[in-house]
Chains A and B, each alone.
Chain A
Amino acid sequence: MIKLTSLISEKLNIPGASSEIGYIAIGYIPLSSPMMKRLQISKPIKAVHGTTDIGLS
């Protein structure tokens, strides 16, 4: 079996780890809407996002 935990700890050594295919390679779970819809927990809320970058351009 693939040792997912060891792969995760070596994430940065896997080519393209931050790409779609890279996350699959290390067995990450997609949190995309289709996956989460089945939980039926989607609801409107107010929240806060913090960032280092003004990012408004």
Chain B
Amino acid sequence: MERIEGSKKSISTATKWDDVFLKTGVGTGVYTVFACLEGNAVVHFDGDVFSDTDGSGRRWMGLHMAKADSSQTRAARMKIVKKVDKLLNSILDKMAKKYNIVDLTKKNSANDRIRTLFGGIKNGNVFTNDNHHLSDTQVNKLKSEIIKLYMDGIEKDVGNDLEWVVNNSGMNRETSGYSWDEVILNSVKIKKVYTTRDFVKKDFDKNQEQADKYPQLKKSKFDIEYVDDIKKLDSKLKKWVK
């Protein structure tokens, strides 16, 4: 969390919730820590879209989080899915031709082609039709090319659909139990941290054993407060986002 502060990296946050949020956190499991943040909202979904980051810090979401609860929304989502399908297929075709990669011909199923290419990249073993395999340099070049083609393609082909995706994605807060919105925030500043973990209280009480176990708390620059009651915590957090 500290590393995110002030960087361009994004974090998934909420501005609306009910008790479930306090019991599970955002996209985590069991709550322990809640940070009050100021930042720049890059995008705001009405419900949780389970966005996730890759190793480079880029954030992603699946189109399966877009609504499909009526014939109109199903059709709208399918239209976008088909565009992404088409883009992926065109990338496969281009890479097959350029690098002469084995099993990327159209006679193989699309899913097998995906697994062959992306699995090969992941494992560093991309084989060619003339029984060679690409060098590490070639694999890295191939990977960079795919990423660029995909990013450019998404922006070009799906860019005009983004507004629909943003306005029509997220778990239904009334029926799913995932009752918080999802706001992707960057340029984050951490203004206050609340925790329900009692080790923090013990640490505040200068319990040496706990202090030794969690030295990061001693070094933390954040204003950390232990709260032992969910209702009090809820009230403090709601006051913050108000």
Contact = CB atoms under 8 A, between A and B. Distances in A.
Interface of A: 1-8, 14-16, 18-36, 38-39, 41-57
Interface in B32-68: 32-44, 51-52, 54-56, 58-64
Given A47-B15, A48-B241, A51-B26, A56 B82 contact: no
B173 interface: no
Given A18-B54, A21-B147, A25-B114, A47 B162 contact: no
Contact of A47 (B37, B115, B146): B37
A33 B7 CA distance: 13
Contact of B33 (A3, A35, A53): A53
A25 B118 contact: yes
Interface stretch (B96-104, B127-135, B151-159): B151-159
A5 B64 contact: yes
A39 to B, nearest CB: 6
A1 B62 CA distance: 18
A55 B54 contact: no
B196 to A, nearest CB: 10
B223 to A, nearest CB: 11
B107 to A, nearest CB: 15
A50 B39 CA distance: 15
Given A4-B85, A31-B51, A46 B154 contact: no
A7 B36 CA distance: 36
B147 A19 contact: no
Given A48-B35, A52-B25, A33 B81 contact: no
B163 A16 contact: no
Contact of A24 (B37, B38, B146): B146
B103 to A, nearest CB: 15
A49 B123 contact: no
